[in-house]
Structure formats: C-alpha cells, structure tokens
Amino acid sequence: MGEPVAYDAVVAHERTASETPDTTIGSNGDTNSDAVAIANLTPEQAELMAEDADWNAHASLYHAGGGGATGNDSLGCRPVAMRTLATDPRVIPRRTKVFIRETVGLRLADGTIHDGYWYASDTGGSIKGQRVDLYTGNGRASMAPARRLNQRTLTIVRAGTFDGCPPATVAPAAPLQMASN
C-alpha cells in the first residue's frame, strides 16, 4: 500500500487520463436502456424531469477511504453511497431532498438502477456556491458508476425535505427497470 493521495490530485489525474462519454441518462451509454429507464419513471419522477432546474451545479465525486471522506456527514449521519450530497448550505440547504436528472438510470454496483434522488446532508470546505459533491461509497472503485458526472454541471430540482438521516435505501413507488439484451 502506498502513501495516501489527496482527492483533488486523483480527480485531476483521472480527468486528464480519460474522457467520459457525453450522455445525459444512464451509465452504460446504451440509449435503448436509457429510454427504458425514462419510460419507467414514476409520475413524481416524470414531473421532476420536466420541471425547470432549481439549481445548476458543478459536480465532483467523493468517497470514503484512501484519502477520501471519513466519519459522519455534517448532520452527524453515516454517508449513504449514491444518496448523500454535499452542498453549500447557503445555496442548497441541508435536509433538502433533490432530484438530479443526470443520475436517473445509473446502474449501481449492486445492479440496481438509480432513481435520481439525493439528500443534502453534508458540506465541505471546497463546496462553495453552485457546487455539489456526490458521495459514491467506499474506495475509488465506488466512483465508477458516476465517473462521467465528475466535473460536469448537473440539473438539480428540489424534491422536498427530509428529517433525520438520509435513508439507506429508497423504495420508489414503481421500481426503475432496465431492458436486458
């Protein structure tokens, strides 16, 4: 095991090492699968997809371990992979439930499909203004499903508020399904 590497250094290296595909929905670049994810939205998700953005924010990714995040979020909760969102609370208040269009249809490590909902429960020293950090989980490998969103501007819609800690899992009214080939 080598010396710890600063997160910013890893992000800078990965940004120059590879270009991510320019897609707007889904994580595998398969437009047929993306269309199926869109077709299987709940009525609430479809409404949020159609709404004007409340915020357009520059995104970066963060993870636990290896120089990434440690401990609890700013609410004192354990961060939840692919649900916890770090924000500038002057822009997106803590305890805001948001819907990020570009994350709908992301195929997650466990094979499930992201429904687009995130929870503003963390802050960070470099999160100022129209910036957000998406928490991806434990280790650099956890960033793979969301890597194409790193250093991009995301469309964010307010979807409500939440009490307590972000839910560990979210059961949508109608689960998103991807087509299998």
Tell me whether residue 27 is in a domain: yes
Residue 126 has pLDDT above 90, yes or no: no
Tell me whether residue 133 is in a domain: yes
| Parent domain of 86 | 22-161
**Domain total of the chain:** 1
CATH number for the domain spanning 154: value is: 2.40.40.20
Mean pLDDT of 39-53: 90
pLDDT at 40: 81
Mean pLDDT of 39-67: 89
Contact of 42 with 174, CB cutoff 8 Å: yes
Q: Comparing C-alpha atoms, which of 106, 160, 156, 170 is closest to residue 136?
A: 106
What whole-number percentage of the chain has pLDDT above 70? 69
Supply the pTM of this predicted model: 0.74
Cβ-based neighbours of 39, under 8 Å, separated by 6 or more: none
Tell me whether residue 180 is in a domain: no
104-116 tens-digit pLDDT: 999 888 888 999 9
Contact of 39 with 32, CB cutoff 8 Å: no
